Amino acid sequence: MAQSEFDVVVVGGGPGGYTAAIRAVQLGFKTAIVESERLGGICLNWGCIPSKSLLKAAEVMHMMKKSKEFGITVTGVEFDFQAVIKRSRDIAGKSEKGVQYLMKKNKIPYYAGFGYLKNHKNGILVEVREKDKVTDELISNHTIIATGSRAKSFPGMTIDGRKVLSFMESIVLDKLPESITIIGGGAIGIEFAYFWNAFGAKVTVVEMLDQTLPQEDKELSDVVSREFRKLGINVLTGTKVENITVEKTAPNSKTEKVKTKVSGKTNDTLESDIALVAVGFTGNVEHMGLEELGINVDKGFIKVDKDYITNIEGVYAIGDVNGPPWLAHVASAEGINCVEKIKGIEVPDVDYLCIPSVTFCQPQVASVGLTEKKAKELGYEIKVGRFPFSASGKARAIGETAGLVKVIFDAKYDELIGAHICGCEASEMIAELTLGKSLETTHEQIIKTVHAHPTLAEATMEAVADAYGEAINI
Ligand code: NAD
């Protein structure tokens, strides 16, 4: 049995794990990484990157449909759905290779297999298991668990991977179903709804809360719901999925339909070819020795302190596996923070109030900090500013006038506490406000910063000015 010693062993090669491994090497740690599936994890292989590729294809379809608005007539638009999926898979493949390259460049040994943690007199021993065989044993003082998460479901909502899918099967589904019911109006549900609708599928989104994207400011979620309805997507809010069954259309028929029983504002049984269950995540904590080691796991996630240390010395957990927010950029930030603290560097904790979140449908939704509702609940006296893209010259020029920028300031200290953008480049625009928020910007610093004209970013400046009654173009 090959046995090797390291300073740091990272279990899981997603954006949290591989980033932590690279930072560890930069800080002089002898580091190894263990990954059972594909380097890059869900984000690069099954989530963020391939889904953005599919969403771009959906945007191209929409651009074709509205080309007339630009004086261009496009006729006979056709698509090859399998080619759309293949492009996305190719991009995922390249992304995985990119991480393989980064591991080589940083001289990080990559162990392909499933990591199983055990106590060892010199720290923690990670067995690398392939099927039932142990191929390697890695001993270290610092073991970072970065095993991520997977889609969860509820009783009566079994994901069978055939008719009732999670995002994993959906991302590679290369035959477009005629009709789809999506359970959950969070980021995954909304992004897939936009994608499948663009190619002509009949899509229904069922969300039990009273707005889609419930984490977002309602004003912006309402814009998304309104734009989706214009596209023909059936958006049911305040409606809960009770159960899902798969039934044959007739006793001897080979055709099966998915029946989704819903209650609330709508009481009905929805029929569709497939269903996507997107009701949140659960951590990947099973079969890796955590129970035997006595590591605290609560409701499917590893418990950690602010330095990502578990209750067992020398064992850390970063990214999705330690609980929400389940975002790749949070995992990476936690990975870097964790390793820097292991090194003894005095770095500030990750500021969870400064984490941007983005949903990549069109119009996109991006935000950082508090919603208006949350700010009020917390007792802030607030100043709110808005600027609609319909009043932006750039947005009109590029034909993207849906949505707005909304900012929330703490009136007492003139501090930006929340920023919300719904619009075609919201994902890029949120960076300015995230930086502003982390630097505790005042309104004046933003409005006295000259923004290039004509850009969508001017809408940010105007929204901030609006909060203080100084907007010019509205
Ligand atoms: P989510 O938690 O974002 O949304 C799940 C939704 O399902 C919620 O709105 C919830 O109210 C609803 N729901 C739960 N039970 C229901 C029921 N019985 N009937 C109807 N609705 C029900 O989860 P998700 O969309 O599965 O995404 C998982 C995670 O992945 C999230 O944290 C998300 O932020 C992240 N993600 C992020 C991106 C991105 O950054 N663009 C993309 C995809 C996923």
pLDDT in tens, 242-251: 999 999 999 9
Ligand 1 centre from 151 Cα, in Å?
A: 9
Cβ 183 under 6 angstroms from ligand 1: yes
Does the C-beta of 278 come closer than 6 Å to ligand 1? yes
Q: Is the CB of 188 under 6 A from ligand 1?
A: yes
Answer whether 196 contacts ligand 1 (Cβ < 6 A): no
**Average model confidence (pLDDT) for the chain?**
97
CATH 3.50.50.60 matches 164-279 = yes
Query: What distance in angstroms lies between residue 278's CA and the mean position of ligand 1's atoms?
Result: 5
Q: Is residue 281 lining ligand 1, measured as CB closer than 6 Å? A: yes
Whether this model's pTM surpasses 0.85: yes
CA 275 to ligand 1 center in whole angstroms: 15
Distance CA 1, CA 186 (A): 46
Q: How many Å from the N-terminal Cα to the C-terminal Cα in the chain?
A: 71
* 270 CB near ligand 1 (under 6 Å): no
Q: Known catalytic residues?
A: 453
Q: How far is the CA of 190 from the centre of ligand 1 (A)?
A: 9
State if residue 184 touches ligand 1 by the CB under 6 angstroms criterion: yes
Q: Could you tell me which of 318, 15, 294 has the C-alpha nearest to residue 142?
A: 318
CA distances from 105 to 22, 45, 109, 179 (A): 10, 21, 10, 46
Give the tens place of pLDDT for each residue, 382-405: 999 999 999 999 999 999 999 999
The CB of 214 under 6 Å from ligand 1? The reply is yes
Ligand 1 pocket test, candidate residues 207, 262, 332, most atoms within 8 A of CB = 207
The CA-atom distances, in angstroms, between 405 and each of 176, 220, 392, 397, 400 are: 34, 9, 11, 18, 13
> Does the structure show a pLDDT above 80 at 1?
no
* 296 — pLDDT class (breaks 50, 70, 90): very high
Fold of 3-149+282-352: FAD/NAD(P)-binding domain (3.50.50)
Give the per-residue pLDDT at 131.
87
Cα–Cα dist 465/416, whole Å: 12
Query: What would the CATH number be for the domain defined by 363-467?
Result: 3.30.390.30
Of all protein residues, whose CA lies closest to atom 12 belonging to ligand 1? 184
Q: Same topology for domains 3-149+282-352 and 164-279, yes or no?
A: yes
Atom index in ligand 1 nearest the CA of residue 359 equals: 41
Q: How far is CA 414 from CA 143, 241, 438, 440, in A?
A: 43, 43, 14, 9
Q: Is the pLDDT of residue 271 over 90?
A: yes
Q: Residue 255: which H helix or E strand, with range?
A: none
Q: Which atom from ligand 1 is nearest to the alpha carbon of 212?
A: 9
Q: In angstroms, rounded to a whole number, what is the distance separating the alpha carbons of residues 208 and 431? A: 31
* Closest C-alpha to ligand 1, atom 23: 280
**In the structure encoding, which two tokens stand for residue 216, read together?**
């977002």
Could you say which DSSP state residue 451 is in? Answer: P
Taking residue 226's Cβ as centre, other Cβ atoms within 10 Å add up to 11
Residue nearest to atom 3 of ligand 1 (CA): 186
Q: Are 185 and 212 in contact (CB under 8 A)?
A: yes
Task: Spell out the domain ranges in the chain.
Answer: 3-149+282-352, 164-279, 363-467
pLDDT value at residue 132? 83
Please tell me the distance between residue 135's alpha carbon and the centre of ligand 1 in angstroms: 37
Q: Provide CB contacts within 8 A for 462, sequence distance 6+.
A: 387, 391, 392, 405, 471, 472, 473, 474
Centre of ligand 1 from the C-alpha of residue 34, in Å? 28
pLDDT digits (tens, 9 = 90+) for 231-264: 999 999 999 999 999 999 999 898 999 999 999 9
For residue 374, pLDDT over 80 is answered with yes
Mean pLDDT, residues 55-62 taken together: 97
Task: Give the pLDDT band of residue 2 (cuts 50, 70, 90).
Answer: confident
**Ligand 1 neighbour 209 (Cβ under 6 A):** yes
Helices (H), 242-327: 290-293
* Nearest in space to 262 (alpha carbons), one of 242, 235, 246: 242
